[in-house]
Amino acid sequence: IGNPKAIDLWLDVVEDPRLRSEQLGELDPGELLRLGDLMPVGVAAEVTDTLALHVAVDLVRTVAAARGGELLAALESDRAAEILRELDADERERLLTAMPAEHAVVLRDLLTWPPESAAAHMVPDVLTVGRSVTAAEAIAQVRDHRAKLRQDAHIGAYVFAVDPEGRLEGVVSFRDLVLADADTAVADLLEPDVVSIGPLTDQEEAARTVVAHRLLAVPVVDDDGRLLGILTSDDASDIAEVEATEDAERQGGSQPLEVPYLRASPLLLWRKRIVWLLVLFLAAAYTGTVMQAFEDELEAVVVLAFFIPLLIGTGGNTGTQITTTLIRAMSTDNVRLRDVGRVLRKEMATGLLVALAMALAGIVRAWTLGVGGPVMLTVAVALVAIVLWSSLISSVIPLLLKKLRADPAVVSGPMISTIVDGTGLIIYFTTAKLLLPELAGL
Amino acid sequence: IGNPKAIDLWLDVVEDPRLRSEQLGELDPGELLRLGDLMPVGVAAEVTDTLALHVAVDLVRTVAAARGGELLAALESDRAAEILRELDADERERLLTAMPAEHAVVLRDLLTWPPESAAAHMVPDVLTVGRSVTAAEAIAQVRDHRAKLRQDAHIGAYVFAVDPEGRLEGVVSFRDLVLADADTAVADLLEPDVVSIGPLTDQEEAARTVVAHRLLAVPVVDDDGRLLGILTSDDASDIAEVEATEDAERQGGSQPLEVPYLRASPLLLWRKRIVWLLVLFLAAAYTGTVMQAFEDELEAVVVLAFFIPLLIGTGGNTGTQITTTLIRAMSTDNVRLRDVGRVLRKEMATGLLVALAMALAGIVRAWTLGVGGPVMLTVAVALVAIVLWSSLISSVIPLLLKKLRADPAVVSGPMISTIVDGTGLIIYFTTAKLLLPELAGL
């Protein structure tokens, strides 16, 4: 480390960008600084491009401002903007001032869009031609942009035709341009029905558009039809991965971490977890009230307590299965609001089948614990009621959230378990009061 | 429906492939059959390409064999193979026999690979040239394959140089080929260090390779270095989405559905859910045994029961938060086996912070229920112990599974809750026995 030859050797030996990123991520800031200053800027940019975001941020933060600006200018602008967003205002300004003015203008523009919008991830350098030129002229124009094109295979995949005001008129794939006869007019090759997105389109929806249409890039077009930039399919893949991670974390009952797991300090992990834990604890606290209300029943037939964890656990498990499946189906767009009737019929029918099987299992378990017929019956009936109840609320709540335009992915397994815990207890003790003769007088 | 003009109108009006797929998916088989027969084969193939898999399967299954064969031959071969895999052997044979022989050969070859392998998803029609030709000659060869290229923007992105035995020697992007001087030798443009994958590479890992290297396609190369085909980035996105859905379903404690949610019958949903529910019920059944073992304690201090749902719920929630975050971090490759020490230190430190906060919350709750000092202390101490215990096992189990080369994603929230339920009860009652004077003699 710190020796230019050693760095060349390292770059030669370690070719996998994930491996490079991982190894750089383990260096301390001082070492990272030395490395960032020593690598040729082209190589440094190439490495920075493949680095995990937090390592890239550390790198531009630790090197001198001039070097950092140079590095950011050599990156694709969407990547550079992503890095700049992670810095505080002072650092960002310092780097923007240090880089060539034309790059700074582009980056400042990108930074004005909300971070979750499609525009924040777009590449503003788009290949455009007028519709009146020929294929050969268009290719010549593309050739003039050769340097820009070398950067990323995704950027030059399509050439966009625009009118003098910059309004999008159509698209032609670079390949069709090359394969056409040289004097064909671009207008004849154009596909005028372009799939496009608005700059404020949510990044998740934008990414899904790219994938659903199997595009290499989708143009970002403002309300006046002007072409602002493109969102490329590799950026769309990155967005989809980040969104899937956030959804997984929410499903587990945490707030999204926003930094890679290994970088998260215990204090950050604590902050992201404790909020929901306390909310759920507060919500679950009424289970104590429920139990207190049924204290007399519990004292009269203490064996009822034996089945509490089993019953509420089964209710929670049933609900968690439903919400995770349903929320994923909603986020991959199979299930929409108007399917609410189908979803409920399906889940209640499934719930009935599940309930019967679990009641049978409950009877077997009650029998092995030797608790006698009436308690056995109570457990079986309570299991049926709890499973059906859990099926109902865990189907309805995600659909209701979608209806209210909230993200259904906030419904976590722990949340459903908590809701079912207390209500399940009420169902259980009420069933017991109805079925057990010794509780009749209470 | 059933009227060719109406179909043209529909294709004109409904341009979004997702919308088309959804609307076709709602037709019954008879209607689908009429539509599939009436559309021009080119349009039908285009529609089929963007359809959800199960609708596409229904379509080729319902139309006449000759028509189905024609349709499949017009699709990309990886898509056609994907559809054929869903059919039973008879139907598959009927369609393969009905299509042109050269297509059938390619498809039969694709079908020999395991469905989860990279090779099963590859496009075998790759653009290859010898390394001795010039850029202009290479472009001329590409032009000869124009028809193939039109099908999919991803296929022609790279041109691969192979030796006479078909062994991969390097890659050049189609664009670099075009932008180079006409008489440049392909050998001078070649990038010899090609990122490639083996045919039996797991599809999930293959998809991740495409995304990590920001490729448009990755070559599939056998042990002898021969180029078998390419895996394109759009197919990689599809794979990543399917894998994310399967992981989400597993995390929720179900087996993966494998069909779209709205197509799943209650019986199928029941089958995918009941296995884990029964396993977890069986595992949770020992909570009854634990409670029975502490029956005397419970009878002596019945208020202990009030806190059971709250305590085991908090243990389950803590564990679910950890496993979901950790498993996602492992599947996006941030966390590896050698990080086990860091993970454990991080989670135990976080667990301690969480435990202290929850103990405080527990004291407040015990005070509001008016249960007295000793029980209050028991609840607080038990909460600390349960949270720490839950943190430990929910960090260790996923890492252990990875170590055993099993998929850590099978560790669901419900599984962790179940494990913590019973062990949490033991912790709770043991704490009570140690701290409550009235239990001292039991």
The domains of chain A are located at: 4-112, 128-232, 261-439
Whether B316 and A314 lie within 8 Å, measured CB to CB:
no
Of A47, A236, A52, A75, which Cα lies nearest the Cα of A157? Answer: A236
Read off the tokens for B251. Answer: 């995390």
Whether A342 and B291 lie within 8 Å, measured CB to CB:
no
pLDDT, position A4: 64
B320 vs A1: which has the higher pLDDT: B320
Whether A323 and B369 lie within 8 Å, measured CB to CB:
no
pLDDT, position B38: 67
pLDDT, position B296: 84
Read off the tokens for B311. Answer: 């305590």
Residue A432 near residue A301, CB atoms below 8 Å:
yes
Residue A224 near residue A167, CB atoms below 8 Å:
yes
Of B386, B372, B401, which Cα lies nearest the Cα of B313? Answer: B386
Residue B127 near residue B142, CB atoms below 8 Å:
yes
With a cut of 70, say whether residue A146 has pLDDT above it.
no
Please state the ipTM of this predicted complex.
0.76
Q: For the structural domain made of B261-439, what CATH number should be given?
A: 1.10.357.20
B6 vs B316: which has the higher pLDDT: B316
Residue A149 near residue A177, CB atoms below 8 Å:
no
Query: Once rounded to an integer, what is the mean pLDDT over residues B77-106?
Result: 85
**H or E element, residue A372:** none
pLDDT, position A147: 59
With a cut of 60, say whether residue A150 has pLDDT above it.
no
Mutate which of B317, B334, B340, B428 to test chain A, going by most A C-beta atoms within 10 A? Answer: B317
pLDDT, position B220: 92
Query: Once rounded to an integer, what is the mean pLDDT over residues A347-357?
Result: 89
Question: Which residues on chain B are in Cβ contact (under 8 Å) with A237?
Answer: 211, 233, 236-237, 240
pLDDT, position A148: 58
Of A180, A191, A181, A198, which Cα lies nearest the Cα of A131? Answer: A191
Yes or no: domain B4-111 corresponds to CATH 3.90.920.10: no
pLDDT, position B150: 53
Yes or no: domain B128-232 corresponds to CATH 3.10.580.10: yes
Banded model confidence at residue B15, pLDDT cuts 50, 70, 90:
low
Measured in degrees and rounded to the nearest 5, phi and psi for residue B358 equal -70, -35
Banded model confidence at residue A392, pLDDT cuts 50, 70, 90:
very high
With a cut of 90, say whether residue A384 has pLDDT above it.
yes
Mutate which of A18, A233, A394 to test chain B, going by most B C-beta atoms within 10 A? Answer: A233
Q: Which residue of A has its CA nearest to B417?
A: A313
Separation of CA A260 from chain center: 13
With a cut of 90, say whether residue B392 has pLDDT above it.
yes
Question: Which residues on chain B are in Cβ contact (under 8 Å) with A178?
Answer: 139, 174, 178
CA–CA dist A41, A22 (Å, integer): 20
Read off the tokens for B301. Answer: 């201090």
End-to-end distance of chain A based on CA atoms, in angstroms?
A: 78
Measured in degrees and rounded to the nearest 5, phi and psi for residue B215 equal -95, 160
Banded model confidence at residue A11, pLDDT cuts 50, 70, 90:
low
User: Which residues face A231 on adjacent strands?
Assistant: A218
Q: What is the pLDDT of residues B259-289, one digit of tens each?
A: 777 777 888 888 888 888 888 888 777 877 8
Query: What is the share, in percent, of chain A residues with pLDDT greater than 70?
Result: 86
Q: Which residue of B has its CA nearest to A415?
A: B317
pLDDT, position B263: 75
With a cut of 80, say whether residue A17 has pLDDT above it.
no
Average per-residue pLDDT for chain B = 81
Whether B249 and A292 lie within 8 Å, measured CB to CB:
no
Query: Is any Cβ of chain A less than 8 angstroms from the Cβ of B27?
Result: no
Distance, in angstroms, between B96 CA and closest chain A CA? 26
Number of C-beta neighbours around residue A423 at 10 A: 19
Read off the tokens for A18. Answer: 């994930």
The domains spanning B4-111 and B128-232 adopt the same CATH topology: no
Residue A73 near residue A103, CB atoms below 8 Å:
yes
Q: What is the pLDDT of residues B215-248, one digit of tens each?
A: 888 999 988 888 888 898 888 888 888 888 888 8
Average per-residue pLDDT for chain A = 81
Banded model confidence at residue B116, pLDDT cuts 50, 70, 90:
confident
Say which amino acid occupies B190.
Answer: L
Query: Based on the number of CB atoms within 10 Å of its own CB, is A65 exposed (0-12), middle (13-18) or buried (19 or more)?
Result: middle
Query: Is any Cβ of chain A less than 8 angstroms from the Cβ of B277?
Result: yes
Whether B276 and A240 lie within 8 Å, measured CB to CB:
no
Q: What is the pLDDT of residues B332-378, one digit of tens each?
A: 766 777 888 888 888 898 889 988 988 888 888 888 877 778 888 99
CA–CA dist B275, B282 (Å, integer): 11
Question: Which residues on chain A are in Cβ contact (under 8 Å) with B395?
Answer: none
With a cut of 70, say whether residue B153 has pLDDT above it.
no
Residue A101 near residue A71, CB atoms below 8 Å:
no
**H or E element, residue B433:** helix B413-435
* CB nearest to A328's CB, from B249, B322, B346: B249
Banded model confidence at residue A279, pLDDT cuts 50, 70, 90:
confident
Residues of A (188-217) whose Cβ lies below 8 Å from B: 193, 211-216
* CB nearest to B307's CB, from A211, A276, A288: A288
With a cut of 70, say whether residue B50 has pLDDT above it.
no
Query: What is the share, in percent, of chain B residues with pLDDT greater than 90?
Result: 4
Report which DSSP code applies to A409. Answer: G
Distance, in angstroms, between B23 CA and closest chain A CA? 12
pLDDT, position A369: 79
pLDDT, position A385: 93
pLDDT, position A35: 67
With a cut of 80, say whether residue B44 has pLDDT above it.
no
Say which amino acid occupies B328.
Answer: R
Q: What is the pLDDT of residues A194-249, one digit of tens each?
A: 888 988 988 888 888 888 777 888 999 988 888 888 898 888 888 888 888 888 88
A8 vs B223: which has the higher pLDDT: B223
Residue A45 near residue A70, CB atoms below 8 Å:
no
Q: What is the pLDDT of residues A314-333, one digit of tens each?
A: 888 888 888 888 888 887 76
Residue A319 near residue A417, CB atoms below 8 Å:
yes
Q: What is the pLDDT of residues A19-75, one digit of tens each?
A: 666 676 666 666 666 666 666 676 677 667 666 677 778 878 877 778 888 888 888
Q: For the structural domain made of A4-112, what CATH number should be given?
A: 1.25.60.10
